[in-house]
Amino acid sequence: MKMKRMAAVLLLLLLCGCGAAAPVEEACPVSREPELPPSPAGYVALTFDDGPSRHTERLLDGLAERGVQATFFLLGSRLEGSEALVQRMKAEGHQIGNHSYSHKELGAMTDKAATEDLARCDLALCTLLGEGDYWVRPPYGSMGSGLPAQLDVPVVLWSVDPEDWACQNADAVTHHILSRIRDGDIVLLHDCYDSTVDAALRTVDALQERGIQPVTVEQLAALRGKTAQSGAVFLRFP
Ligand SMILES: [Zn+2]
């Protein structure tokens, strides 16, 4: 339909010679809808903090096999030496976010010091991957109440937390997630544990069997009509 309409507009322009007056929107329709598979049972976002690590590559391999994109909140201090891995993440369609440079508790710092730490990570991501909107997840979910309004990207928290870092048990993490997860949830995980990689891939398999599609946080926000504006803090997308 769009091609036919475009052809008709072009033909009209040729006939009347009035190209300068053509409305750009009409001649070049642009769809901003994310290209996602139909998913009647819903969408969720799996997020991974504290990477990249030596376990991240196996996670990327498993996600690629399953055709799934996730969100990685990276530490600026861990980018050096993992440049190719992070570039692969971007090339495979994963969302990459900012988990600070130093992994300090931002809520215990002044907002000025916190924004400087986040800016240092943002600069490292821009240098490696190019300019972009690198959404923020503060370490430990800790931040001053005024911090989100000082950022020009959303802050992403979570609604399901299996505490994978504490138990480091793939069965327990998988069970925790699958017994709680609902459409619109954001799951907190850490790709620096072998057990988490196992749990994440098992979780993806089980979700897909339920007809629930894991997507990036940005895709989930777009599906729910949420705009990525300054001051936004996302816990889940009901
Ligand atoms: Zn962290």
Residue 192 CA to ligand 1 center (angstroms) comes to 10
Looking at residue 197, its amino acid is V
Query: Beta strands 71-74 and 213-215: pairing type?
Result: unpaired
C-beta separation of 137 from 155 below 8 A: yes
Residue 227 CA to ligand 1 center (angstroms) comes to 25
Give the tens place of pLDDT for each residue, 165-221: 999 999 999 999 999 999 999 999 999 999 999 999 999 999 999 999 999 999 999
51 falls within a domain: yes
49 falls within a domain: yes
Indicate if 94 belongs to the active site. Answer: no
38 falls within a domain: no
Instruction: Look up residue 108 and give its DSSP letter.
Output: G
Indicate if 190 belongs to the active site. Answer: yes
- Domain range for residue 213? 43-234
Q: Are residues 51 and 9 in the same domain?
A: no
The CATH number that applies at residue 174 is 3.20.20.370
Q: Which residues of 32-68 are buried (b: 16+ CB within 10 A; e: fewer)?
A: eeeeeeebeebbbbbbbbbbbbebbbebbebbeeeeb
Closest of 95, 83, 101, 104 to residue 48, by C-alpha: 95
Per-residue pLDDT tens listing for the chain (238 residues): 333 333 433 333 333 333 333 333 334 444 445 556 666 789 999 999 999 999 999 999 999 999 999 999 999 999 999 999 999 999 999 999 999 999 999 999 999 999 999 999 999 999 999 999 999 999 999 999 999 999 999 999 999 999 999 999 999 999 999 999 999 999 999 999 999 999 999 999 999 999 999 999 999 999 999 988 889 999 999 8
Residues 6+ positions from 46 with CB-CB distance below 8 Å: 68, 70, 71, 187, 189, 200, 203, 204, 214
Q: Are residues 67 and 99 in the same domain?
A: yes
Give the tens place of pLDDT for each residue, 193-208: 999 999 999 999 999 9
Instruction: Tell me if residue 156 falls in helix, strand or coil.
Output: strand
Angle, alpha carbons 159-139-62 (nearest 5°): 65
C-beta separation of 176 from 192 below 8 A: no
Residue of 55, 99, 190, 191 marked catalytic: 190
